[in-house]
């Protein structure tokens, strides 16, 4: 048979019954009441509950250890350094103590214009070192001074403490001029600081703000809200203070912070020491001290005009007391200083005829005492013991004894 031949082939297929292949099944229709997510919630709840039980069983010992460590650490910090607790500085509080600003704008009880018969009134002047930043007003050197004098002489003394944070000599002079005619002090004592030197230069040429603008920080004048109380909560514990101070000292040790001052705004006590730094003109500190001499002469003339004997002193920063690390925890580069501000202040006072009392030897001698001289982590403001040392030194000074006699006699004659 040739390839061109064609065949027709019939293929017979068996007949298939569809019913033998497909079966009809009736499915019960059930409404879906929960989504797949909601169906998994019970399983998720059981899983989370089991996980929590496992986590608690595995970590409760670690949690107990952490809590115990925190309690022990808090107790140890409070015991070793009680000043870590309550370090609050705000509109009504300084170091946890009320500012107690009276209606006349200065800190402490309101002093009447009329003195009691036989009472010697001392006018004290200064900035925050005299104001008492970080301590209650009762322990500041002005109040400790009259207590010392009353105990040692048996006479009656009172004090008008005109001091304000960041006060300049021009502001202090304004307060002196305002209160002296009405309150008639017998003696005036001014405690100078390095901050005054920097502020006199930085604010030279501008009109100073009022010395005592009023009592906005008066206790109770600012209503404390829930947020304010919440902000104060960490200060109720010592450990946050340990961490804060530790980080501050660490940053200083690593060179992340420094004590350099801005040439045009040299705020801080370091400027008065004439610290060498590349960004600061070499004669900038000398210019500031020259201006300081002019300001002191103005205060002296005002005191003489009112017939009030004037005494001055200088509050040394802690890092100038010794070379020990405990006195310079903030690592101030004292080797770069070119000026001794205490000697410079004493020389200016000698030139101007103002009696000067050095309190740094007494503070240096007391630095070995167990009681702290300065506020915690602060080399400018004095703690209670430091204020007391200053008060004792001024009270026992020949300059004050001479002024007591001259002041009492002059005011008795005027009466």
Residue for token pair 């600003």: 101
Examine the pLDDT at 82 and tell me if it is beyond 70: yes
pLDDT of res. 217: 44
Residue 78 has pLDDT above 70, yes or no: yes
pLDDT at 413: 35
Of 39-53, 192-206, 219-233, highest mean pLDDT = 192-206
Lowest mean pLDDT among 46-50, 208-212, 369-373, 387-391: 46-50
pLDDT category of residue 286 using cuts at 50, 70 and 90: very high
Q: Report the distance separating Cα 401 and Cα 398, nearest Å.
A: 5
Amino acid 177: pLDDT: 95
CB contact set of 248 (below 8 Å; sequence gap of 6+): 257, 330, 377
- The token duo for 98 is 């009320």
Check residue 90 and give its pLDDT.
Answer: 84
Say what the pLDDT of residue 220 is: 41
> Which pLDDT score is estimated for 409?
39
Higher pLDDT, 129 or 62: 129
Percent of the chain with pLDDT over 70: 85
Q: Is 190 helix (H, G, I), strand (E, B) or coil?
A: strand
Separate counts of helices (H) and strands (E) for the chain: 12, 7
- For residue 140, pLDDT over 80 is answered with yes
Distance CA(379)–CA(374), nearest Å, equals 6
The phi and psi torsions of 23 (rounded to 5 degrees) equal -120, 135
Q: Is the pLDDT of residue 396 over 70?
A: yes
Beta bridge partners of residue 312, listed in sequence order: 190, 356
122-135 pLDDT per residue, tens: 999 999 999 999 99
Q: Determine if residue 313 is left, alpha or beta; phi over 0 gives left, psi from -120 to 50 gives alpha, anything else beta.
A: beta
Distant-in-sequence, close-in-space partners of 133: CB < 8 Å, separation ≥ 6? 94, 95, 165, 375, 378, 381
For residue 98, the SS3 value is strand
pLDDT in tens, 225-266: 677 677 778 888 888 888 888 899 889 888 888 888 888 888
Bigger pLDDT: 364 vs 225: 364
Q: How confident is the model at residue 23 (pLDDT cuts 50, 70, 90)?
A: low
pLDDT at 221 (0 to 100): 46
Interhelix angle 284-306/194-202, nearest 10 degrees: 100
Query: What is the Cα–Cα distance from 150 to 120, expressed in whole angstroms?
Result: 10
Match 């009109």 to its residue by tokens. Answer: 207
Q: What is the pLDDT of residue 38?
A: 57
Cβ contacts of residue 31 below 8 Å, gap of 6+? none
User: Which residues have a Cβ under 8 Å from the Cβ of 189 and sit 6 or more positions away?
Assistant: 122, 123, 124, 125, 142, 145, 310, 311, 312, 313, 394, 400
CATH hierarchy code of domain 108-223+259-414: 3.40.50.1110
Provide the mean pLDDT of the chain.
Answer: 86
């Amino acid at each position: 048979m040739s390839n061109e031949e064609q065949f027709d082939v019939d293929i017979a297929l068996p007949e298939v019954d569809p019913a033998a292949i497909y079966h009809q099944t009736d499915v019960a229709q059930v409404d879906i009441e929960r989504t797949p997510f909601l169906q998994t919630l019970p399983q998720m709840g059981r899983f989370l509950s089991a996980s929590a039980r496992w986590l608690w069983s595995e970590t409760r010992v670690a949690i107990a250890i952490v809590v115990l460590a925190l309690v022990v650490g808090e107790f140890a910090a409070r015991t070793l350094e009680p000043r870590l607790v309550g370090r609050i500085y705000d509109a009504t509080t300084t170091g946890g103590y009320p500012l107690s600003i009276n209606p006349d704008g200065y800190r402490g009880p309101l002093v009447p214009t009329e003195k009691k018969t036989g009472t010697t009134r001392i006018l004290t002047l200064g900035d925050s070192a005299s104001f008492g930043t970080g301590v209650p007003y009762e322990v500041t050197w002005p109040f400790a001074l009259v207590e010392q004098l009353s105990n040692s002489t048996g006479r009656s003394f009172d004090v008008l403490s005109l001091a304000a944070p960041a006060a300049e000599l021009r502001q202090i002079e304004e307060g002196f001029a305002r209160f002296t005619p009405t309150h008639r002090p017998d003696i005036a004592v001014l405690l100078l600081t390095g901050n005054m030197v920097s502020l006199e230069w930085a604010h030279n040429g501008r009109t100073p703000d009022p010395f005592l603008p009023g009592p906005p920080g008066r206790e109770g004048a600012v209503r404390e809200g829930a947020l304010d109380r919440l902000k104060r909560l960490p200060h109720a514990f010592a450990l946050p203070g340990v961490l804060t101070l530790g980080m501050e000292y660490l940053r200083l040790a690593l060179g992340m912070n420094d004590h350099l001052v801005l040439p045009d705004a040299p705020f801080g006590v370091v400027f008065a020491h004439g610290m060498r730094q590349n960004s600061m003109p070499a004669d900038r500190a000398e210019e500031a001290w020259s201006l300081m001499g002019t300001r002191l002469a103005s205060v002296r003339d005002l005191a003489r005009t009112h017939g009030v004997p004037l005494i001055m002193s200088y509050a040394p920063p802690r890092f100038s007391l010794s070379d020990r690390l405990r006195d310079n925890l903030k690592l101030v580069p004292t080797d770069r200083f070119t000026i001794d501000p205490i000697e410079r202040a004493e020389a200016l006072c000698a030139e101007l005829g103002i009696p000067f009392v050095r309190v740094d030897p007494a503070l240096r001698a007391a630095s070995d005492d167990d009681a702290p001289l300065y506020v915690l982590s602060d080399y400018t403001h004095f703690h209670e013991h430091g204020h007391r040392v200053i008060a004792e030194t001024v009270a026992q000074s020949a300059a004050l004894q001479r002024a007591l006699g001259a002041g009492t006699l002059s005011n008795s004659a005027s009466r």
